[in-house]
Amino acid sequence: MYSKISVIFFALTLSAQAHDMTPAYPEFRPSYIVGVSKTKMHLFNKRNDANFFEISVYDEVWKSIPFASTNKIIEVRHTKKKSFDVYIKDEDLDRVTYICTKSKLLKQKNVPLIATEICSKVK
Amino acid sequence: MRTLTTITFLLSSACAWAVDSPISGDVSANCSIYTTTPGEYGNPNPYTLSTAAASGGSDPIVRVDIGSAGYWKTKFTYPNSFSSSPVLVDNLTFTGTVTVSSVSVASMSVYESNKVSVANTVTYDHTIAGSSWHKITSQVTYGSADNTAFPAGSYTALVTISCIAK
């Protein structure tokens, strides 16, 4: 009986869900477009309650900086990895400090939802 | 015939290829946020919603894994408004806390004393590699005299946890 409960408890503790993004310190390099630089980021989604992540780019005081990517909200299914490029105008390169991804959640009843955000710092 | 078979077997086994199959991997200075317990509001009386177990709720617990020491800080923001609710005409009072509930390295106990709280945001400096578990509590009371019942409906509030490279 106790062993069954232990197994169920262990299975429940294994159901932890994670959001992970690398590299922690990305570097921008010139892209194929003149005057635009790019960097590649990798997102790993182990959250089974979140399939969409919003990309944001900020300066040192968390002011948004315009950027381009394939999509600003990307779909990453549970236990999948996705790479995405972030393009920045060269004139903004000195200001770019953080590249962030934030989970987008669906509404649920009477539950405090947990949004997770990872912010890498540009070198 | 038997000798020929033996020679053939020996030759074939001698010709077996040894192929290296390397498994490579990188360990980067990464931060992972695990939602170990999603949390739930209980409704202990008509004018209160609370995540406390005594109120029939469940406190959200989040695990933060830090790969390399000194590269990350985390910022926890507990709710100060509902992201969705029925129409509310009276005052709402949100309170909350964030505490370190467990650590994988004993020296991480300093995280709790070194945390910085500003309004509904708590910031931790992750100076030690390893895992730390953080418990978030949230309570909402409705009505300026604490006696107005919440209208029936669904209420959702958002806890945001950010891992920020230093």
Q: Do residue B159 and residue A121 have CB atoms under 8 angstroms apart?
A: no
Residue A56 maps to a domain: yes
Q: Is residue A111 part of a domain?
A: yes
* CB pair distance less than 8 Å for A16 and B36: yes
Model confidence, pTM: 0.80
Quick one: pLDDT band at residue A109, thresholds 50, 70, 90? Answer: low
CA A91 to chain B, closest CA, distance in angstroms equals 23
Would you say residue A69 lies in a domain? Answer: yes
Which residue range forms the structural domain that includes residue A97? Answer: 16-121
Q: Which pLDDT score is estimated for A3? A: 39
> Do B42 and B49 form a contact (C-beta atoms < 8 A)?
yes
Question: Which candidate in B26, B27, B28, B34 is best for mutational testing of the A interface (most A CBs within 10 A)?
Answer: B34
Position with higher pLDDT, A42 vs B8: A42
Q: What is the pairing mode between strands A52-58 and A98-104? A: antiparallel
Its ipTM equals 0.79
Domain ranges across chain B: 29-165
Q: Residue A85's domain is classified under what CATH number?
A: 2.60.40.10
Q: Name the band, by pLDDT with cuts 50, 70 and 90, for residue A47.
A: confident
CB distance A24–B35 less than 8 Å?
no
CATH of domain B29-165: 2.60.40
Measured CA distances, B102 to A14, B12, B105, B106, B148 (Å): 17, 58, 9, 9, 37
Candidates B41, B130, B19, B133; CA nearest to B85 is B41
- List chain B residues with CB under 8 Å of A18: 32-35, 65
Domain count, chain A: 1
Lowest mean pLDDT among A81-90, B5-14, B66-75: B5-14
Least trusted range by pLDDT, from A41-55, A63-77, B20-34: B20-34
Q: Indicate yes or no: CB of A112 within 8 angstroms of CB of B39.
A: yes
Confirm whether A5 is domain-assigned.
no
Q: Is A8 part of any domain?
A: no
